[in-house]
Amino acid sequence: MKKETIHPAKALTGTLELPGDKSISHRYAMLAALAEGASELRHFAAARDCHSTLGCMKSLGADVKVDGSTVKITGRGLRGLKSSWRTLDAENSGTTIRLLSGILSGQDFTTRITGDASLQKRPMKRVVTPLLQMGAEIQARDGNFPPLEIRGGHLHGIHYDMPMASAQVKSAVLLAGLYASGETLVTEPAKTRDHSELALELFGARVEKRGRTVAIQGMADGPGKGALQPKSLDVPGDISSAVFFIAAASLLPESNLFIANVGLNPTRSAILDFFQAMGASLTVLNLQSAQGELVGDLSVKGAPLKGGHIFGELVPLLIDELPMLAALGPFTEEGIEIRDAAELRLKESDRIAALAENLRKMGAKVEELPDGLRVEGRHSGRVHGAEIAPRGDHRIAMAFAVAGLAAEGDTVIHDADCAAVSYPQFFDELRRLAGA
């Protein structure tokens, strides 16, 4: 397992081209495999997670060709998937297994799907519950964990009032809704990313937003029968990957960083407002709409950060950015406090525990709470380099690499190759821009 040593740096300077957005790439890949004909997805995510999705779609009979960051997928229609004799492997990807569960619930065959040791510990009941209500038959280990055995049924539309704010659960129900009779509705308790709604609409599904409720019409069979159309699409750069560089450039006083082509969907961009509220020197340039998604460029310069509190409805909007924000805590004036975020314990690792452990190794003062953590700011003393154990979690590895740039002395990130789950080039890009 690879180690990366991070030396302190003074600035992050230059231009960064991000990999394609992970969330959007998963959705485009799945919908292209269900469409009738050949789709071309350019600037597809380099993330290993999205390649797990491509592997699963291939095993289900879609024709998938990868040429660098361009992916060509030929789908054979909503009823064109084939049963896989092999157990599908979602590897580390929660989005793959949860969204695909929705699609598999609509197939007239049985599929087994599992993942790596981390994924096998992540809860699946949240998608199993609504999919059972729609008519699928699903067996999960201990009723909650992968492997899942999904026997697709004749689904019927439901109105699902989600008990938690989760884009993955919402998306699983909407994808199953393509196969259900009548209308399927999902109401979310707080706003989450809406890439599924936008992508479904783009590929020709009948989707309607009504406040916090999304409705989709079944179109695989029966009176509403129709087809998804293949598309030629460009995936915007991943804002959740950009965040590590926004944080690093803000922390290092002499930075001057330009980040090109960042996805700025409003259900993902709350992080930019949060950085601006903390005092970051962050400007959005060239904002434009691209096939339903917003994109723009960012200019970031070094600036002292105030810190802040994250709680309530902000949590689902910043969910993947919380590791980076927590790791920034000791460099801010007032520190960072995160509450209402018990979900963080159910991600690729227990992120609350991983953050508290590694922040303490760097000498930060941290209070671990059941639903978050409190990280003291600059007044509690300078932090120093340490040996970081990311627990196989890409966002923990990347967050502490950034903290290492501003700490005293060197920081060693163990098991650093886990960053490839979302950003295979992360360490090369960080070294290049930090001039190290």
Calpha distance 267→206 (Å, rounded) = 21
Nearest to 247 by CA among 381, 426, 389: 426
Q: Report the nearest approach of ligand S3P to the CB of residue 19 (Å).
A: 15
First CA to last CA distance, the chain: 22
- Beta strands across the sheet bearing 36-42: 63-67, 70-76, 36-42, 232-234
Chain-centre distance for alpha carbon 184: 24
Calpha distance 214→427 (Å, rounded) = 39
Report the residue number, 52 or 166, with the smaller CB distance to ligand S3P: 166
Report the residue number, 372 or 404, with the smaller CB distance to ligand S3P: 372
Residue 238 near residue 45 (C-beta atoms within 8 A): yes
| Per-residue CA distances from 96 to 123, 256, 328 (Å) | 14, 36, 30
Instruction: Please report, as ranges, the residues that interact with ligand S3P according to CB under 6 A.
Output: 23, 95, 166-168, 171, 193, 319-320
Q: Report the nearest approach of ligand S3P to the CB of residue 156 (Å).
A: 24
Q: Report the nearest approach of ligand S3P to the CB of residue 422 (Å).
A: 8
Nearest to 198 by CA among 176, 156, 170: 170
Which is catalytic among the residues 89, 297, 320, 415? 320
Q: Report the nearest approach of ligand S3P to the CB of residue 167 (Å).
A: 4
340 is a catalytic site residue: no
Residue 213 near residue 185 (C-beta atoms within 8 A): yes
Q: Report the nearest approach of ligand S3P to the CB of residue 218 (Å).
A: 22
Residue with token string 């960051």: 69
Q: Report the catalytic residues.
A: 320
